[in-house]
Amino acid sequence: MAADVVVTGLGATTPLGGDVASTWSALLAGESGVTAIEEEWARELPVRIAARLRVEPSAVLDRVQARRMDRCEQIALVAAREAWADAGRPEVEPERLAVVVGTGTGGALSLLAQDDILESSGVRRVSPHTVPMLMANGPAAWVSIELGARGGAHTPVSACASGAEAIAMGLDLIRLGRADVVVAGGAEACIHPLPIAGFAQAKAHSTRNDAPQRASRPFDTGRDGFVIGEGAALLVLERAEFAAARAARVHAVLAGAGVTSDAHHITAAHQDGQVRAMRLALAAAGLGPLDIQHIHAHATSTPLGDLVEAHSITEAVGSHPVVTATKSMTGHLFGAAGAVGALAALLAVRDGTVPPTANLTDPDPGIKLDIVSGGPRTARPRAALSNAFGFGGHNASLVFTAA
């Protein structure tokens, strides 16, 4: 029989707040973390908006240590420290403690910055810390070093599904008996001219430069693309018996996960893969569609992506759940998006309140879902599903139930 897995620790740093409490409060209030990019480098770009961290990691981390880390690694460590403290710093054998931190681009900022230095100033000016800063496994490695985790440090790299896949992998590690405690989630920081220009050229990014806070509008007829964001969210997962033995506080139960691939197109979503991911998550949780009362949608605010997901939800689960899309406030955090979405779904189950979808002023008539807008809704869901889908055809769905 598969082991029950509970969530005992939460950590986050997002465009809405430097911790879980401030992020959750802002989500419930419908606040936006999207702002204009004022730097000189953005003046010639077609997109000049982004969702930046509300609290800089330099305000939390040791200055010398931070200089040796990419921004993605920094924010993963910030979130990990909060999650570990929130879990009560469980005493666990190092070999029974694992880390799984997903990311989409890893140390892209360091790679691009050091390449600029190489081109302009020569090899002697390149940092000796370049490789540890740019490698995608850096966030997981730094968190494992911080916590002394010797049960494995893993890095799913599956675009915007990375953070959710990391949590699904953490569930598997515990259920397979390979760990008692896993710190899992995602981190991303790639607000830079090159990614922004690339997404703009692909017509994937919103161009509402004159209205940053209204730019991300999932499920709205006026949606024109996502807004690039940065952040991290990590959960402490524990084997239920292990958590009970130490009388740990439990936020929620991670009841199931489903991971699929489309094998269809490098960027276009496919309904079949999304439906299968949701159905696998439900089966793993031992639940049926009617048991799900709330869904945190991936919903990036792209014209086609939101429509495909809405149809997938209707097919896999139905139109009865209360749905929200918090990227309307946080922007799209790519590799961290699935982890931040999981955090929001989990807190909705724990607190009995679903945050609104901001900027939903003219709902798409082709989307037949009960989408929360205008303000938070008291829903008291006993079970929630969180979706994360990524370029490459990666699909991950997670199910949380009340403790």
What are the residue numbers of the active site?
160, 298, 332
Burial class for 352, CB neighbours closer than 10 Å (0-12, 13-18, 19+): middle
The residue assigned the tokens 């911080």 is 146
Contacts of 369 (CB under 8 A, 6+ apart): 219, 310, 313, 314, 319, 321, 323
